[in-house]
Amino acid sequence: MVLAETRNPPIANAVLGTIFFVLVEAMFFAALISSYLVIRAGAGLNWIPPANVRLPVEATAVNTVALLISGVLMILSAKLFADKNPKARWFFLGSLVLGISFVLLQGREWIGLIDVGMTILSGVFAACFFLLIGLHGLHAITAIIAMVYLWLTMQNDLIKVERIQAITIYWLFIVGIWPVLYGLVYF
């Protein structure tokens, strides 16, 4: 192990690095949200969704709850890992499964929208919708890939708790920003 990694700092390396990474992501999403608001304010008549399209507000509400529960499970799993409780990995798995279901169900809703003719090229509202929700989904997918990797690693008990803390911070960011996007874009 590189000596630089062993100097017992108050906040572990992986956690500190993730905090700064989340800072970048927060600014990135803040910019997307401000851009959304600016375009919405200036687009006038161009803003309305294409005709005949109704956003799946209710289905996504259910999905939102699932994602929030996933976040809670992740927090609990991090606490249990720190206590070396063997149940920790099951909470982690629960969080991961709910995360995957969020992404898959969102994907299904998207296919529904595309089927009725709303694509990213259907005007500036649709473009903003797919951009914001899509980028969030992409971040969710990368987090899920990391979680799958960690799930596989934790099977032989050699996982460091700082890695669980790191993915928890990242996942909580993704979970936390979602209701903001949902509220802004779907209503």
Partner 1 sequence: MSVEHHHEEHGHHAGHHEQTFWQKYVFSTDHKVIGMQYLFTGMLMAVVGGFLSYVFRMQLAFPGEIVPFYGLVTPASYGSLSTNHGTIMIFWVAMPVLIAAFGNFLIPLMIGCDDMVFPRLNRLSYQIFLISAILILATLFLPHGGFAGAWTAYPPLSVSEQYNSTPYAAPLWVLAVALEIVAFLIGGINFITTLMNARAPGMKMFDVPIVIWMIVLASVLFMASVGPLVAGAIMLLFDQTIGTGFFSPAKGGDPILWQHLFWFFGHPEVYVVLLPAMGIVAEVITVFARKKMFGYRTIIYSTIATCIISFFVWAHHQFVAGIDPRMANVFSITTLIISIPIAEMTFLYIATLYGGSIQLTSAMLFALSFLVAFLIGGVTGIFLGSTGSDIYFHDTYFVVAHFHFTFFPIAIIAVFAGLYYWFPKMFGRYMNETLGKIHFWGTFIPFNLIFLPLFYSGAAGTHRRIYSYQHFSELSIPSVQNMQVIATYALLVLLAFQVVFVVNFFWSMFMGKKAGNNPWNANTLEWVAPSPPPHGNFQEMPTVYRGPYEYSVPGRDLDYWPQNVP
Site residues (CB under 8 A) for partner 1? 1-5, 7, 9, 11-13, 16-17, 20-21, 23-32, 34-35, 38-39, 42-44, 46-47, 120-121, 123-125, 127-128, 131, 135, 149, 153, 158
Residues 183 and 37: their CA atoms lie apart, in Å, by 12
For residues 86 and 57, the answer to whether their CB atoms sit within 8 Å is no
Q: Which is nearer to partner 1, 17 or 176 (CB)?
A: 17
Q: Which is nearer to partner 1, 27 or 104 (CB)?
A: 27
Residues 143 and 99: their CA atoms lie apart, in Å, by 9
CB of 153 to partner 1, least distance (A): 8
CB of 65 to partner 1, least distance (A): 28
Q: Which is nearer to partner 1, 11 or 57 (CB)?
A: 11
Q: Which is nearer to partner 1, 31 or 114 (CB)?
A: 31
For residues 180 and 33, the answer to whether their CB atoms sit within 8 Å is yes
Q: Which is nearer to partner 1, 13 or 101 (CB)?
A: 13
37-41, long-range: CB within 8 Å, 24+ apart, which pairs? 37/184, 39/124, 39/128, 40/125, 40/128
Residues 30 and 27: their CA atoms lie apart, in Å, by 5
Contacts of 137 (CB under 8 A, 6+ apart): 103, 106, 107
CB of 177 to partner 1, least distance (A): 12
CB of 49 to partner 1, least distance (A): 12
CB of 62 to partner 1, least distance (A): 28
Contacts of 179 (CB under 8 A, 6+ apart): 64, 68
